[in-house]
Amino acid sequence: MWFDPHALLSRPAPPANLANLRIPRGQDATQGSEISKLAELAAPDRWAWPHSSAMNGQELDTFMARQDLFQQRGTSPQDAERLADKLVIRDRGGDDRRLCLECRHLRGDGPYRCGNARAAGLHPDLAQDMVLTLQHCQGHDAARLPMGVIVDAAPVVYAALEGEAGFKLRAQAW
């Protein structure tokens, strides 16, 4: 025979994948084990930004949320993807310009209106080109949508049945 069957049978079989690696008795799983070394190499964000131009997990989540938001607000899928990609580059570069599409005060999905026009220094009616352009806006910081966080609706106050006093309560609640 050209191989030794005893040597072949006495050797442990190599692990099929990371889940089947055994940790030797007495060794801590978090320090120096093969699993932690291989898991570190397999971490998807290790090969992403800032180590390369690829998006990391957080950037991908934000990209998808923005793309969905922009499509809900009336942009085409191609424009939504292009704008979301532009915002990834903006975020990486530390640019402080904003899109009206990101703002919670934007109203409409075709003809657009700014619900915060006075603070933003704009006319309430917005052209589509302006909505799709990165720009500095004085009213945006307080109106920013938290990407990746579900925005809850304002609490409903049931004070309308109390007449004028109820109106004052609603005004205070807002």
Q: Which residues pair with 126 in a beta bridge?
A: 112
Q: Is residue 48 part of a domain?
A: no
Q: Is residue 119 part of a domain?
A: yes
Q: Is residue 85 part of a domain?
A: yes
Q: Is 119 within 8 Å of 138 (Cβ atoms)?
A: yes
The pTM (predicted TM-score) of the whole model is 0.56
Q: Which residues make Cβ contacts (< 8 Å) with residue 81, sequence separation at least 6? A: 67
Both 136 and 84 in one domain: the answer is yes
Q: What is the pLDDT along the chain (174 residues), one digit of tens a residue?
A: 455 666 655 655 555 555 555 555 555 555 555 656 666 666 666 666 666 778 888 888 999 999 999 999 999 999 999 999 999 999 888 888 989 998 888 888 878 998 888 888 888 898 888 899 998 888 776 666 665 444 444 444 444 445 556 556 655 655
Q: Is residue 172 part of a domain?
A: no
Both 20 and 79 in one domain: the answer is no
Q: Is residue 1 part of a domain?
A: no
Q: What is the residue range of 21's domain?
A: 13-42
Both 38 and 72 in one domain: the answer is no
| 155 class by beta-carbon count within 10 Å (0-12 exposed, 13-18 middle, 19+ buried) | exposed
> Reduced to 3 states, what is the DSSP secondary structure of residue 113?
strand
CA 138 vs. chain centroid, Å, equals: 23
Euclidean distance between CA atoms 174 and 102, whole angstroms: 22
C-alpha angle 59-129-149 in degrees, rounded to nearest 5: 30
**How many structural domains comprise the chain?**
2
Instruction: Label each residue of 20-70 as H, E or C.
Output: HCCCCCCCCCCCCCHHHHHHHHHCHHHHCCCCCCCCCHHHHHHHHHHHHHH
